[in-house]
Structure 1
Amino acid sequence: MRKISVLLSLIFSFYCFSQNKEILYNFTPQPQSLLTNPGADVKYKWFVGVPLLSGISANVGSTGFDAYSLFANNGVDFTTKVKNAVAATNSKDYVTANQQLEIFTAGFRVGGPESKFYVSFGMYQELDSFIYIPTDLAILALYGNKDYMGKSFDLGDLSVKAELLSVFHVGFNKQMNEKLILGARGKIYSSIFNGTSTHNSGYFVTTQGENLIYDQSIYSNLELNTSGVSKYLNENYDGDIAGDMREDVTKRAFLGGNLGLGLDLGLTYYPKRNIQLTASLVDIGFVSHSKDVESFTFKGTYNFKGVITDFNSAGTVGDAYDDFKKAIPFDTLYHKYTTWRPLKFYSSFQYSFEEERQTECNCATDEDSWYRSAVGGQLFIMSTPKEPMLALTGYYRRRILRGLQMKATYTIDSYSASNIGLGLTTKIGIVNFYALADNLLEYRDVSKANALIFQIGFNIISGGSNK
């Protein structure tokens, strides 16, 4: 029981902070846009992020319910709120979270100011989590099976991924000709903590026979893989969990954890000077877990007949429970396993207008100075354990002042059909500050929001579109 409690605490503690960065994507005044498309059309001579402050982002979202429905101080009993939330969801609803913190980042043009080749590199910490709402299991836990004769409760509803890791990366960006820019980014992942349970299956069904006898069948194929948390699950562990975790995070973040490799690919293409197409694949990668691994399985088949109150008509409740434990044992295993990073696909179309005079700008270093405004659309797709996550975004970009640009977005996704976002970036001298926020209409009462996204940061930039 202690192991289950600790695991739940670790996994659900991740849900305090969706992965779509629709405002940052193709917002090229920001060097951080290279993390969403290594083939972005950037014009900086060089940039350096302020350590620990260049990129701070947190995204959280849920479909089917919001925090207000569970925690509102409205006199409704919490159990009733939980039942209402379960009734409003299905097995395709989910809660997802992503948090990133850039430790350091930098980039520079290789071969002089006229070079078409750009290199960027850095390190960031990322927390990633995704859980599908286990609707059938929640109904079974809340109501039991008495009123659900003949219903097959799907144990495969249980699907969860949670990971804390650091990422070391280096990217290469080259303008191949006047129309095409290509980019790639290599990554080394160092996993700090991981919990994955995504390929589950099974069922629990009860049917009514004669003379109040019930036929009940359980088939369970459940498995939870973990790495980096075994000592906290040990029944004899009595250390300082907060202090020990800080030590583990520090040690494993710098390539001391379970390692993996990744790749990002991207491009920008101009069929005409004022028409732009982009696309990128982010996190084509995996992590191999071999250190501090521990897996928990609940596998087997059990069939029995009996009255519900006695569980098994052939013996006592205790006898039935012993039979059940033998038929579907709870085992602990120690084996290697591999997890795949959530793969993200971005693409965009942009039309630029309000052409400026060449005398107003240094066009050798500033592509946006050709056009004051632009409109466009974006598509985002992310892999999940079940079905891909999709989002469509329309946006408007404008250079407001010489050192101030904005991007306004409207996004339709599984969380909301009224997601309005705004990004602002300013550059004074060589100092750059940016702030991006999504779902602005929900900030009147964030507890009622199904998704929230923000990102802020400071950089030092030489050249670029805010010069």
Structure 2
Amino acid sequence: MIRSILFIIIFSAPFFAPAQNKQLLYNFDDLPQSLMINPGAEVTFDRHVGFPLLSQVHLSAGSSGVTFYDIFKEGPGTINDRIRNSIRAMDHNDFFTINQQLEILSLGWRDKNRRYFTAGIYQEMDAFVYFPKDLAVLAWEGNKNYINKNFKFSDAAFTAEALNVFHIGFTNYYSEDLNYGFRAKLYSEVFNAYSVDNRGIFRTSPSPEGANIYRHFMSGIDVLIKTAGWASLVDSEDVTGLGTMSNIAKKAFLGGNLGLGLDAGFTFYPDDQYRITGSILDIGFVNHTKDVENYRYYGDYETDGIEILFPETGNSDNYWDKWEDDLDRHLTDETLENSYVTWRPVKVNASFDYSFSENTEPCNCHKPMGRRRYYNQVGAHFFAMKRPRGVNYATTLYFDRTFNDNFRGKISYTADSFSFSNIGLLLSGRIYNFNVYLAADNLLDYTNLAKANNASVQLGLQLILITE
């Protein structure tokens, strides 16, 4: 029962707070949030002010290898059978991910040279966990049927962080055909946990000459979990009260571990109807020097096994004490306070689109002189994100339709690490100077979210001003 609960928590954790690909907002120049994905994007307005805590709410989560439905579906077999089958179907490159972002402050303004400046603060939480295949098999099935198999501790790898991001940037009209932009970021981290590049194996081998049938080996064990900001939270006597909230707020607003980052992007028009864009986000790092606790477990150990029956002397207490002392002599557990640096997960966007159905209606939107406007765009968007064991990719095809000056929509199809059936929809409406938008992915799975490998939702509200 305990094992079932443990693996249900592992499998379902990402879905409690629905990755970082924002393909629906990308190139959506009616919204200031498009600048957060491409600092070199065009915008059609002259000023904006986001409603605090409401201008962007983003929740996304995914699992590349298992869904709720795989575990809880009705049918033959027990839940234990379905967990076992899911473990066997996945490998160590499958992963779980959660990302959450909340804009605290957002504002922008255009200067007399047509440059558009942005500044603000947003909060982000990101967790990425690789499925520890070998350790999951060992914990769930034991080693009975896996004699001479090396169970690798390197399968265990994860990153998790919560931080505030302070940013300021600009987008500049270099010419009618080219727009570029940059954004500087200051990271103020509340919490970080990092465990990558662990080493070591556990193996069971026959031992016909030994005291028991099998011998167990733990070789080259070196497991390191780095944390910053965690110790002061768990050691606090006021775990759920105002003291903890004050501690979190202090770290979030420049009192925690700090780092620097940079975003860059561009928009290029080979022709009025064709557009090429690209951006690179979060080229940056965080230096962890405060509230650091690193937990290391390392060494080598070999044993004939644990005696099921008491030793012949009958002194069982002495036997267990000796076994524990022997284990402690060979496998060392240390708590360290060494500072460390983590790099932010770099993200790359690129797109190409074609516009058609010219819009000849007059407007007071900001557009470079001579640029024609169109009602429709069709295009392709590419996204890549660096993770500890490689890069995750996504490719999107989209159709963007402007119905009038106050209403616009976008529909997308995305193939990524989670699925090949991701249909997304974004709707944006403007009432006077107030703009509201809602975007969601994986619409085909909304009738039964338990079958979804990932889910994402974004919404926001802001005041947008256009100079007459």
| TM-score normalised by the chain length of structure 2 | 0.90
In structure 2, the partner of 1:280 is: 279
Alpha carbons of 1:43 and 1:139: their partners in 2 closer, same or farther (altered >3 Å)?
A: same
Alpha carbons of 1:15 and 1:223: their partners in 2 closer, same or farther (altered >3 Å)?
A: farther
In structure 2, the partner of 1:5 is: none
The amino acid of 1:16's aligned partner reads F
How big is the alpha-carbon RMSD for the aligned residues of Structure 1 and Structure 2? Answer: 2.6
Alpha carbons of 1:85 and 1:397: their partners in 2 closer, same or farther (altered >3 Å)?
A: same
Q: Which whole-Å deviations, capped at 9, do the CAs of 1:132-152 have from their partners, x for residues lacking one?
A: 011110111111112101111
In structure 1, the partner of 2:21 is: 20
User: Is the contact made by 1:95 and 1:131 (CA closer than 8 Å) also made in structure 2?
Assistant: yes
CA distance in 2, matches of 1:309, 1:390: 50
CA distance in 1, matches of 2:293, 2:310: 32
Residue 194 of structure 1 deviates from its aligned partner by: 1.1
CA distance in 1, matches of 2:101, 2:239: 26
Residue 84 of structure 1 deviates from its aligned partner by: 2.7
The amino acid of 1:99's aligned partner reads Q
- Further displaced range: 194-203 or 342-351: 194-203
Alpha carbons of 1:147 and 1:75: their partners in 2 closer, same or farther (altered >3 Å)?
A: closer
1:216 partnered with 2:216: yes
In structure 2, the partner of 1:420 is: 423
CA distance in 2, matches of 1:103, 1:14: 24
Superposition pairs for residues 315-464 of structure 1, below 5 Å? 316-357=319-360, 359-362=361-364, 364-365=366-367, 370-463=373-466
CA distance in 2, matches of 1:312, 1:429: 84
User: Is the contact made by 1:305 and 1:312 (CA closer than 8 Å) also made in structure 2?
Assistant: no
CA distance in 2, matches of 1:231, 1:364: 49
CA distance in 2, matches of 1:243, 1:180: 50
Residue 239 of structure 1 deviates from its aligned partner by: 3.0
CA distance in 1, matches of 2:437, 2:395: 23
CA distance in 1, matches of 2:73, 2:250: 40
The amino acid of 2:339's aligned partner reads K
1:119 partnered with 2:114: no
CA distance in 2, matches of 1:52, 1:271: 38
Identity %: 39
Superposition pairs for residues 115-154 of structure 1, below 5 Å? 115-154=113-152
Q: Which whole-Å deviations, capped at 9, do the CAs of 1:133-175 have from their partners, x for residues lacking one?
A: 1111011111111210111111011111111100000011101
User: Is the contact made by 1:191 and 1:259 (CA closer than 8 Å) also made in structure 2?
Assistant: yes
Residue 323 of structure 1 deviates from its aligned partner by: 1.6
User: Is the contact made by 1:311 and 1:320 (CA closer than 8 Å) also made in structure 2?
Assistant: no
Alpha carbons of 1:311 and 1:406: their partners in 2 closer, same or farther (altered >3 Å)?
A: farther
Residue 360 of structure 1 deviates from its aligned partner by: 3.6
User: Is the contact made by 2:414 and 2:420 (CA closer than 8 Å) also made in structure 1?
Assistant: yes
In structure 2, the partner of 1:293 is: 292
Residue 245 of structure 1 deviates from its aligned partner by: 3.3
Residue 103 of structure 1 deviates from its aligned partner by: 0.4
CA distance in 1, matches of 2:415, 2:57: 24
Alpha carbons of 1:443 and 1:222: their partners in 2 closer, same or farther (altered >3 Å)?
A: same
CA distance in 2, matches of 1:37, 1:312: 69
Alpha carbons of 1:312 and 1:455: their partners in 2 closer, same or farther (altered >3 Å)?
A: farther
- Further displaced range: 441-450 or 69-78: 69-78
User: Is the contact made by 1:15 and 1:129 (CA closer than 8 Å) also made in structure 2?
Assistant: no
Residue 403 of structure 1 deviates from its aligned partner by: 0.8
Q: Secondary structure at the match of 1:255?
A: helix
CA distance in 2, matches of 1:311, 1:79: 33
CA distance in 1, matches of 2:83, 2:311: 31
Q: Secondary structure at the match of 2:41?
A: coil
Match of 1:198 among 191, 196, 199: 196
Residue 179 of structure 1 deviates from its aligned partner by: 1.2
User: Is the contact made by 2:50 and 2:106 (CA closer than 8 Å) also made in structure 1?
Assistant: yes
User: Is the contact made by 1:312 and 1:320 (CA closer than 8 Å) also made in structure 2?
Assistant: no
User: Is the contact made by 2:14 and 2:61 (CA closer than 8 Å) also made in structure 1?
Assistant: no
Residue 312 of structure 1 deviates from its aligned partner by: 12
CA distance in 2, matches of 1:74, 1:312: 47
In structure 2, the partner of 1:59 is: 60
In structure 1, the partner of 2:246 is: 247
- Further displaced range: 203-212 or 447-456: 203-212
Match of 1:164 among 162, 165, 172: 162
Q: Which whole-Å deviations, capped at 9, do the CAs of 1:12-67 have from their partners, x for residues lacking one?
A: 97863211111111111110111110000112111110111100010100011112
Residue 307 of structure 1 deviates from its aligned partner by: 7.1
Runs of 5+ consecutive residues of structure 2 not aligned to the other structure = 1-8, 313-317
Number of aligned residues: 449
User: Is the contact made by 2:46 and 2:366 (CA closer than 8 Å) also made in structure 1?
Assistant: no
User: Is the contact made by 1:65 and 1:85 (CA closer than 8 Å) also made in structure 2?
Assistant: yes
Runs of 5+ consecutive residues of structure 1 not aligned to the other structure = 1-8
User: Is the contact made by 1:422 and 1:438 (CA closer than 8 Å) also made in structure 2?
Assistant: yes
Alpha carbons of 1:311 and 1:384: their partners in 2 closer, same or farther (altered >3 Å)?
A: farther
CA distance in 2, matches of 1:44, 1:163: 34
User: Is the contact made by 1:287 and 1:340 (CA closer than 8 Å) also made in structure 2?
Assistant: yes
| TM-score normalised by the chain length of structure 1 | 0.90
Q: Secondary structure at the match of 1:254?
A: helix
Q: Which whole-Å deviations, capped at 9, do the CAs of 1:276-295 have from their partners, x for residues lacking one?
A: 01110011111111111101
